[in-house]
Structures are given as structure tokens and as C-alpha cells.
Amino acid sequence: MDSIPVDIIEVIGKRLDDIDDHVRFGAVCKTWRSLKIGYKKSYTPWLMLPERDENNSDGEQVHNNNRKFVCLSSGKTFNVYLPECQGSRCFGSPFGWLLTVGLDLNIHLLNPLTRVQLSLPPQRTFPFQSEYYIEPSHLRKIAVFKFVMSSSMPDSENDCIVMVICSQFNSLAFARPGDETWTIIDSPPQQAHSDILFFNGRFYAIHAGGILRICEINEPVPKTIDFLPPPDDIELSDRFYLVEISGHLHLVARGLDQDQNAPEDTGRYVTDWFEVYKLDFDAKKWIVLSDFGDYSIFIGTNSSFAISTSEYPGFKANYIYFTDDHEECYEYGGGHNMGFYDFDNQKFGSFYVGEDIISFFCPPLFFRPSLG
């Protein structure tokens, strides 16, 4: 393929509209892969499926270095060679990056398409280490609950801060790529957090009880400040998510209940309902919404995000797409509590069905791919 003139290759590349095609374009050879022709800043979300081991010709189980992805707009599935993810707990983002926690308990940012990998401080530098020994195979599951990035380009020219919800108390900590340790954010003790968001130049956290907090990370002692209590009419919720929609901060409440169809003595859950609220900063008040415009929301084992369905018509307005992020499920095999919620008609549905969604340590997750 190296014999084809570069200008002809560029013509081909500029005609590609979907990232699926860009992946295949780059797989032709090194020359084609080196040309970033017609790349967009962001693409429609993908679903990353759990790691699967395979059997060799002798019937022995061997590790599989390929990870399966589903392009949610086209429904296409394909494998990506990702030995960097082997044995890792992964979390998605809307910027094309995954956060990975390996069996060695080292933590990285990884772009699964370019395979660029950036080091973050290891798990052993998190606050509130357990006084008891925990097997790394289990600790990788519980070391991180959520992460969020302040920038889509975590390189030397951008001051990208990564914030995580971590440790046994779902505490807050932050670091930059290349740092040696995580910096703890002082919060009321033993008060777990449910989600975090970088919005308008600041980090926000939502407490498991629905309290919105501002993270003051530039103070001599970084700390949280309680900003707003939960909405007055909120029902008891098992999950809260923070998401930016059209330049405004929103709160998504997700109600969970025991899965009555699950085998006995298993901790499986199902999603019962969703509510969405918009923050009025001037009035310091949550406003309950009956719709959220032409947007789709994506929540679960990923940094929460929304996309415009007018820009990405493969998705439906006023839909919430969700994955299984209840950590207790993974003792019994998680991934069942996944689908979409039609907010207008208050109906649930499925966007992907298959046994390959079930996992005991790394659930399916959303992320928006990027080749930049």
C-alpha cells in the first residue's frame, strides 16, 4: 500500500465519516495510520465490552489481548488489540481516554485507538489504605469508583487534572499525568461520593445523599465546600450523576431495586426510575425537568456525559443510556442492569444483548473515541 501516492490516500481519508472506517483506514499499513485525515475531535459513543479469555488448541485457557467494542450508532462490532488493558479494571470518558487499574495496581490513562498511555500515581498512594491485606485481583475492582478529566488533551502542553472517587470511603483525590502521588481532597469523614464533574473551570462532586459540593483544589489544603442540598422532592436514590447539558449543570437521579428474577442470594439490581434536574445557579435551586431537549445522556462506569442528537442522529433525544455500575453486583457477575430509558414515555429498553456483557470485575462501559 506504500506505493499509493499520499494525495490519493488523503482523498480517501477525507471521505470517511465514521470512526469505524478511520480505524480500518489506519489498520491498512503504517503510512496510512500516520495520516490523520479528516479526523474529528469527537465521535459517537462506543460500548466497550468486558475482557474474555479464550481456549487454545490444547483446550487450555489463555489471556485474550483483544477487546470487543460496539459502535452504538451503527451497531458494528469489532476487536481492537489492547494488551495494555489485559487484566485491568477500566473506566470510560467522553474524551477518548480510558482510565485503567492493572493487576499490578498501577493506574494509567490509555487511548485505546492510538494506544498512547500516560502514567498516573499508583493505587498505593491513595488516601485511606486498608489496614488489611487485599488481593490485587480484588483491589483493582474497588480502588476507583469514578474518574473525570479537566481536559481532553492530557499532554505536556495542557494542565490536565484527573480527579477520582477512590478508596473504601469513596473519597476524592486528584493528580496530573506524571505525578508520583495522589492529592487528597479534605471532605467530611466517611461520606461517600457518587459522581464528579469538571464544569466551567471547577470540579464538582455529588455526595451519595445528594449534596452538591465544590472542590477547591487550589487551596493550601484542598477541600470540598457544600454548595447545595438535594432537590426537595427527591426520592431515595441509590445513584446520583452530574452531567453538563448545553452549558448547564444537571443532576440525574437513578433509583435501584433488587432484581426479582436473579438467582437466590445474588446481589443483582435493576433500575426502577430516573429523574433529571437542572441547576439554577442564581437561585441556588434544582429545577426538575420533564425533558432535557435534543440530548442523550450516558451514565455508568464512565465520566457522565451528554451528546446532541441533532449532531449525532444515531441516538434519540430525551434518552438515558446506562450501564451497570453497582459494584456489589460483580461478586455474582454484573452487566445485567444495562439499557436505555425513554424519558418522554418512561419506558426501558435494550440497546445491546449478549452474554459477553457479563463480568466479574470490569463491566461494559461507554466512552467517546478519539484519534487525536
* CB of 244 closer than 8 Å to CB of 304: no
Selection from 88, 1, 44 nearest residue 316 by Cα: 44
User: Where in the sequence of the chain do the CATH 2.120.10 domains occur?
Assistant: 121-358
Q: Indicate the length of the chain as a whole number.
A: 372
* CB of 255 closer than 8 Å to CB of 271: yes
Selection from 304, 237, 302, 230 nearest residue 269 by Cα: 237
Share of residues in the chain with pLDDT > 70 (%): 78
Identify the pLDDT of residue 153: 79
Measure the CA–CA gap between 258 and 266, rounded to whole angstroms: 9
* CB of 163 closer than 8 Å to CB of 214: no
CATH number among 2.40.50, 1.10.287, 2.60.40, 2.120.10, domain 121-358: 2.120.10
Identify the pLDDT of residue 142: 86
Candidate from 17-21, 40-44, 190-194 with smallest mean pLDDT: 17-21
What lies within 8 Å, CB to CB, of 282 at 6+ separation is none
* CB of 19 closer than 8 Å to CB of 369: yes
Selection from 299, 304, 327 nearest residue 139 by Cα: 327
Identify the pLDDT of residue 325: 84
* Backbone angle region of 130, left / alpha / beta, with phi > 0 → left and psi within -120 to 50 → alpha: beta
Query: Which residues lie across from 40 on neighbouring strands?
Result: none
Measure the CA–CA gap between 163 and 60, rounded to whole angstroms: 40
Cα 29 to Cα 23, 36, 84, distances in angstroms: 11, 13, 21
Phi, psi of 10 (to 5 degrees): -65, -40
Residue 188 has pLDDT above 90, yes or no: no
Cα 371 to Cα 18, 113, 276, distances in angstroms: 12, 6, 32
Identify the pLDDT of residue 60: 53
Residue 56 has pLDDT above 60, yes or no: no
Q: What mean pLDDT is predicted for residues 273-301? A: 96
Cα 36 to Cα 10, 23, 32, 39, 333, distances in angstroms: 9, 11, 8, 6, 40
Render 95-125 in DSSP notation, one character per residue: TS-EEEE-TT--EEEE-TTT--EEEE--GGG
The larger pLDDT score, comparing residue 305 to residue 56, is at 305
Task: Record the cell numbers describing residue 143, joined without a space.
Answer: 480502588
Selection from 104, 44, 89, 106 nearest residue 69 by Cα: 44
Measure the CA–CA gap between 175 and 120, rounded to whole angstroms: 7
Residue 203 has pLDDT above 80, yes or no: yes
Going by pLDDT thresholds of 50, 70 and 90, the confidence category of residue 137 is confident
Identify the pLDDT of residue 110: 95
- Average pLDDT score, the chain: 85
Task: Record the cell numbers describing residue 162, joined without a space.
Answer: 484527573
> Residue written as cell 460496539?
70
Measure the CA–CA gap between 263 and 197, rounded to whole angstroms: 36
* Amino acid present at 223: K
Residue 12 has pLDDT above 70, yes or no: no
**Strands in 309-350 per DSSP E:** 319-322, 339-342, 347-349
User: Where in the sequence of the chain do the CATH 1.20.1280 domains occur?
Assistant: 1-39
Identify the pLDDT of residue 370: 83
Residue 7 has pLDDT above 70, yes or no: yes
Identify the pLDDT of residue 238: 77
Identify the pLDDT of residue 166: 93
Measure the CA–CA gap between 328 and 269, rounded to whole angstroms: 9
Candidate from 132-141, 194-203, 354-363 with smallest mean pLDDT: 354-363
Measure the CA–CA gap between 184 and 166, rounded to whole angstroms: 10
Selection from 349, 338, 370 nearest residue 50 by Cα: 338
215-272 per-position pLDDT tens digit: 999 999 999 999 999 998 787 677 899 999 999 999 999 998 877 776 666 667 889 9
pTM for the model stands at 0.88
Phi, psi of 187 (to 5 degrees): -135, 165
Instruction: Tell me yes or no: is domain 1-39 CATH 1.20.1280.
Output: yes
Q: What mean pLDDT is predicted for residues 57-84? A: 79
Identify the pLDDT of residue 167: 85
